């Protein structure tokens, strides 16, 4: 019955009732609680789904591409030398900025054959200007901090799926235990146009035999950048992607590597061996 002034009162869910009506009040409150719990559960599921989607979107970090400037036409650019076993395929220009050692194959090479599909620049002004542009590009990479994921010391990239952003180590980077997947579409059916991946190590970058960098979700080799403080080395039968900058040392490709990208050796030389290198698209 309704509460009146002569009875002790209790407030259950904002419904005033006397102590004789507690059972009915509790039943009403329990019903309200069940309804509220169902509503909260539905909201929680919806919020969790939205949160997951938001986290996924937030993971897509839209960095600006690194400006290669006058270095962009080059597939291979070294400081003092480019050496080859004379059976590589180079799609783009090749040059040296101080030395003059370049392979002597015909330019351009016949379709399907080994050689250079581009121009030679042995220590000419074009190569010198390209080196200056490559140094600026490497400095740009060194100075970036947006979208940073600091991976720690010796970093194993093999066996991982990574998304757009800047990845750094305090020691070396390697692709050894498995292939590396670079996903511009965040694991969904969508693709992110011009997604940028940057990898920066103060020492060496290395890939073991037969390993691959695999692109998915719209990722493109032209928007991937690797900056090593010393040397970059790639064992036989590897598949690499992107623009590689070495520091105080050179870049070495073992036999039968395919590199969809460019090689800029700021320290010494680029070594090729039955290598297919350059951007064909």
Q: Which helix (H) or strand (E) holds 39?
A: helix 22-59
* 150-179 mean pLDDT: 96
The span from the CA of 276 to the CA of 66, in Å, is 23
* 68-75 mean pLDDT: 98
Interacting residues of 100 by C-beta distance below 8 A, sequence separation 6+: 122, 123
- Note the pLDDT tens digit of each residue in 115-139: 888 999 999 999 999 999 999 999 9
The angle at the Cα of 149, spanning 169 to 66, to the nearest 5 degrees, equals 85
The span from the CA of 278 to the CA of 119, in Å, is 13
Percent of the chain with pLDDT over 70: 73
The span from the CA of 196 to the CA of 224, in Å, is 6
Residue 43: pLDDT band (50, 70, 90) is very low
Average pLDDT of the residues of the chain: 83
Instruction: Identify the pLDDT of residue 133.
Output: 98
Residue pair 52/187 in contact by the 8 Å Cβ criterion: no
Residue 104: pLDDT band (50, 70, 90) is confident
H helices, E strands: number in the chain: 2, 24
Maximal C-alpha separation, the chain: 110
* 97-112 mean pLDDT: 81
Instruction: Identify the pLDDT of residue 48.
Output: 44
* Token pair recorded at residue 247: 């520091």
Where is average pLDDT lowest: 69-78, 105-114, 135-144?
Answer: 105-114
The span from the CA of 225 to the CA of 142, in Å, is 11
Residue 279 above 70 pLDDT? yes
How far from chain centre, in Å, is Cα 87? 31
User: Quick one: which of 277, 274, 280 has its CA closest to 88?
Assistant: 274
The span from the CA of 70 to the CA of 233, in Å, is 25
| 161-162 sheet: strands from edge to edge | 161-162, 180-183, 213-216
Residue 174 above 60 pLDDT? yes
Residue 276 above 50 pLDDT? yes
Residue pair 232/269 in contact by the 8 Å Cβ criterion: no
Residue 187: pLDDT band (50, 70, 90) is low
Residue 86: pLDDT band (50, 70, 90) is confident
Residue pair 184/219 in contact by the 8 Å Cβ criterion: yes
- Note the pLDDT tens digit of each residue in 207-248: 999 999 999 999 999 999 999 999 999 999 999 999 999 999
Reported residue count of the chain is: 281
pTM of the model: 0.78
How far from chain centre, in Å, is Cα 227? 12
């Amino acid at each position: 019955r309704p509460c009146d002034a002569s009875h002790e009162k209790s407030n259950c869910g904002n419904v005033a009732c006397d102590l004789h009506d507690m059972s009915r009040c509790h039943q009403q409150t329990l019903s309200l609680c069940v309804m509220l719990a169902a509503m909260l559960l539905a909201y929680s599921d919806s919020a969790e789904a939205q949160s997951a989607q938001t986290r996924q979107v937030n993971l897509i970090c839209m960095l600006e591409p690194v400006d290669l400037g006058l270095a962009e036409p080059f597939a291979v650019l070294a400081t003092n030398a480019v050496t080859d076993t004379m059976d590589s395929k180079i799609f783009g220009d090749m040059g040296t900025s101080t030395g003059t050692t370049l392979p002597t194959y015909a330019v351009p090479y016949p379709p399907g054959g080994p050689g250079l599909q581009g121009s030679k620049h042995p220590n000419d002004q074009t190569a010198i200007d390209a080196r200056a542009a490559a140094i600026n590009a490497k400095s740009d990479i060194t100075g970036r901090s947006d979208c940073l994921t600091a991976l720690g010391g010796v970093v194993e990239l093999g066996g991982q799926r990574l998304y757009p952003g800047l990845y750094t180590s305090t020691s070396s980077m390697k692709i050894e235990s498995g292939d590396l997947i670079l996903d511009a579409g965040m694991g969904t059916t969508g693709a992110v146009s011009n997604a940028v991946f940057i990898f920066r190590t103060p020492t060496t970058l290395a890939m073991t035999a037969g390993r691959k960098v695999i692109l998915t979700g719209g990722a493109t080799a032209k928007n991937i950048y690797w900056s090593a403080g010393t040397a970059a080395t790639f064992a036989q039968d590897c598949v690499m992607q992107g623009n590689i900058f070495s520091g105080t040392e050179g870049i070495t490709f073992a036999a039968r590597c395919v590199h969809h990208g460019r090689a800029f050796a700021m320290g010494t030389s680029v070594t090729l061996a039955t290598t297919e290198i350059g951007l064909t698209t």
